Amino acid sequence: MTFDDGPIPDITEFVLDTLKQYNAAATFFCIGDNVRKYPDVFQQILDQGHAVGNHTFNHMNGWKSDDEAYLSNIELCEKQLNLDTNLFRPPYGRMKKSQSRQLPINKEIIMWDVLSGDFSADVKPEVCLEKTIKYTRPGSIILFHDSLKAAANMQYTLPRYLAHFSEMGYQFEALPML
């Protein structure tokens, strides 16, 4: 289970509380500027034992950025995180091949196989839940967002999703970090 775009007060804290209820671990792909603005919320993620990955400093779109600016934005996020993580997720799930080839050798690009769709105002919460459950398989990497834009759908879907799979005996683990 992964969350992109936080940390954000209240929203990330809702995620953390919900994960705790189900003894679930997750990986948070954090935006460096949000870590800068909300260090206490970021610290809660770490204190609760979740994994953290780099999601650039400003949610930069690699396809719309030159390589130097994009790689500098990744490095700026890395400095803000101030911890060793090999996990990186490109915003929008896209980056240029030239950018991926220039990532530090220890960086692992982490994508997903189940996109919850929580960020879309066109997706009703019930549909978000139904589709996320439908496409989940053992070992899936699920993508939710701990952002203002996704809050309504995520807050409806996440507890129901966790309840559904917990009842089936699933466990939720964070991705391994360095």
Could you write out the DSSP letters of every residue in 76-90?
HHHHHHTS---EE--
pTM exceeding the 0.95 threshold for the entire prediction: yes
Residue 178 has what pLDDT? 77
What pLDDT shows up at residue 1? 96
The residue-averaged pLDDT of 36-62 equals 98
Residue 94 is part of a domain; what is its CATH number? 3.20.20.370
Percent of the chain whose predicted confidence (pLDDT) is above 90: 97
74 assigned to some structural domain: yes
Q: Which of 4, 5, 118, 146 is catalytic?
A: 4
Residue 56: what are its φ and ψ, rounded to 5°? 70, 165
Tens digit of each residue's pLDDT (9 = 90 or more) over 124-140:
999 999 999 999 999 99
Domain of 145, in residue numbers: 2-167
Count of domains in the chain? 1
Q: Is the pLDDT reported for residue 59 higher than 90?
A: yes
Report yes or no on 176 lying in a domain.
no
The one catalytic residue among 50, 55, 59, 145: 145
Please report whether residue 38 resides in a domain: yes
Asked if residue 137 belongs to a domain, the reply is yes
4 is catalytic: yes
